[in-house]
Structure 1
């Protein structure tokens, strides 16, 4: 017991520091009340036997609301709308949305309390034959016709809704290439969060109440080449008051995602401001196994963000929301490719998974865990304390050695 008391006394500054760190790290406990709603207000008589998938995730805060509207009507899209009130509502004009005239078919009301809105469209999946095994699409021997995700047939997402875990899955197949998709699919797995936490499986992305996760999965699709790799195209729609910036964040800490030291961020920046309105964030890693082990990891690469001058696909919920203000929007696209030079091809595993975090406000920042901070504090603090104690002991010994000498007259 005496030894423990002595240790605490000697390390008191470091113990106090650790207590302060734990207190500060526990401060991010902001939470939202999250609900999932499938096809709100849809009358079954308005659509045929084809699945109509629209998922509304409503995340209500103390004085604001974030709406995530996911849909595979046309191009798979997520619409993100942030309002300054906690009672804002989604209104869908299904008569318009299910017909060619989609203008203003989706609204968030009250409209004058909308702080920010954006849309992310997952438009195409490219497949290329990488005979040289460079994982570089520009050096591909052959690029196959892309899979246009707007042409896919999607399963009923309502069957996958889990109101407890706040998850859902959009799973689709290309009916025009039925043989290639006989036992395979391309999926978007969606998760919402009420508070701060971290995924249990790699890449263990950090999340909070202002974010939602999407996992892109290619599972069991028959490749069209012997050396096939894949690439996903995303299109981002912003009001012209904002612009997208691509950032790469490097860290010395790979505690949560071993061997991965880089985070990619696609942030929306208002004009004349350093603040962020929204973000798309991911670790630069994908996985070729559903076990999500370290040995299953492969790099992913983002290609240059391109401004699109032509209009984006109108057959999407983005067109239904932004239609009246399309001339006032910035539209950009970015491609994400998966694979490493001299590495395995898709056919070696028939599986690909890549996860991103989508949210409002500032991007999430990975920090050292309490365990790592404790190890660093003890590792750095102990030598410093020993050095100080050594200096004190030497000073005492020197003082004792010369104390018998009298003053020289």
Structure 2
């Protein structure tokens, strides 16, 4: 589901009728499936749109599969493995229902009974690949004894308001914690169509809400475009290490004072030695 809300009063949020993706009309994937680039795009609009919000807009999910490990080119430049795929949520041209509207995406996860899920937050001082973004979040599914990771959903704490994202196009992104899914999601036609009648007995369904936008929602108001990317894969989520550039900067920052201290010590010792060598005793 996609939620739209705005702040009516201080610390109060006004929610508009939800966009239920199960009720959307989706284009055929055959038109966007690219076997060479390993990409596909699902684009949809509501079956009924009485308010006209989708008259010039749509919701899309873009999927990219990878054959090998590496780093994605466009921001947020996610680090990926051969066992992962990128899922991009795109809201384009949808008219907001208020001047300060913000959007929120409900992400559902379906796991077998006994599998535990943990939401992990990792912070780093290295923002070379995703400028000004220092937090990476990972929703990790682990075996019952916690000995191994079975799968993950990983994303940076940002979305973007442009088809060609740059640092200044960043949109604030927040996650609201993992919760058990309500009955509406359990009987969702999308979930049941894929996992069958075992949902609720053989499988457990959880959900996490990802919200987008600053305090006033102006970024989307101006550009009418929102893109959020996440990595979906098997095993352990990839972990960023310090890039060579950051290592070089840290080496210079830490090494320069030490070098100056050593040079200063040598100069002082040399000066003292020279002073004593010029001294001549009276006797």
TM range (shorter): 0.7 to 0.9
Q: Distance in 2 between matches of 1:276 and 1:257?
A: 25
Distance 2:182 2:209 in 1: 17
Q: 1:228 touches 1:345 (CA, 8 Å); kept in 2?
A: no
- Superposed CA RMSD in Å reads 2.8
| Alignment gaps of 5+ in structure 1 | 1-123, 404-409
| 1:304 counterpart SS class | strand
Q: 1:126 and 1:279, CA in 2 relative to 1: closer, same or farther beyond 3 A?
A: same
| 2:211 equivalent to 1:361 | no
Alpha carbons 1:288, 1:353 under 8 Å: kept: yes
Deviations 1:383-406 (A, max 9, x none): 545655666787788789889xxx
| Alpha-carbon distance in structure 2 between the residues aligned to 1:216 and 1:125 | 11
Q: Out of 234, 251, 254, which is 2:127 matched to? A: 254
In the TM superposition, what is the alpha-carbon distance from 1:174 to its structure 2 partner? 0.7
Pairing 1:321–2:195 present:
yes
Q: Secondary structure at the match of 2:130?
A: coil
**Which of these residues, 77, 80, 83, is aligned with residue 207 of structure 1?**
80
More displaced stretch, 198-207 vs 382-391: 382-391
Matched-pair contact (CA < 8 Å) for 1:313–1:319: no
Contact 2:79 2:238 in 1 (8 A): yes
Match of 2:281 in 1: none
Q: How does 1:26-105 map to 2 (within 5 A)?
A: none
- Asked if 1:216 is matched to 2:89, the reply is yes
Equivalent residue, structure 2, for 1:88? none
Residue matched to 2:47: 175
1:193 matched to 2:66? The reply is yes
* Count of paired positions: 277
- Asked if structure 2 preserves the Cα contact closer than 8 Å seen for 1:243 and 1:330, the reply is no
Alignment partner, residue 146 of structure 2: 273
Partner of 1:331: 205
Which of these residues, 142, 148, 163, is aligned with residue 35 of structure 2?
Answer: 163
TM-score, L = length of structure 1: 0.61
Distance of 2:20 and 2:198 partners within structure 1: 25
Q: Distance in 2 between matches of 1:314 and 1:148?
A: 10
Indicate if the aligned counterparts of 1:279 and 1:360 stay in contact, CA closer than 8 A. Answer: yes
1:376 corresponds, among 240, 250, 274, to 250
Choose the corresponding residue for 1:145, options 17, 25, 28.
17
2:6 aligns with: 129
Structure 2 gap segments, 5+ residues each: 278-283
Alignment of 1:298-313 (within 5 A): 298-308=171-181, 310=183, 312-313=186-187
Greater relative contact order, per chain length (Cα 8 Å cut-off, separation 6+): 2
- Find runs of 4+ consecutive structure 1 residues off by over 6 angstroms: 392-403
Other-structure match for 2:280: none
Following the alignment from structure 2 to structure 1, what is the Cα–Cα distance between the partners of residues 62 and 156?
A: 17
- SS of the counterpart of 1:128? strand
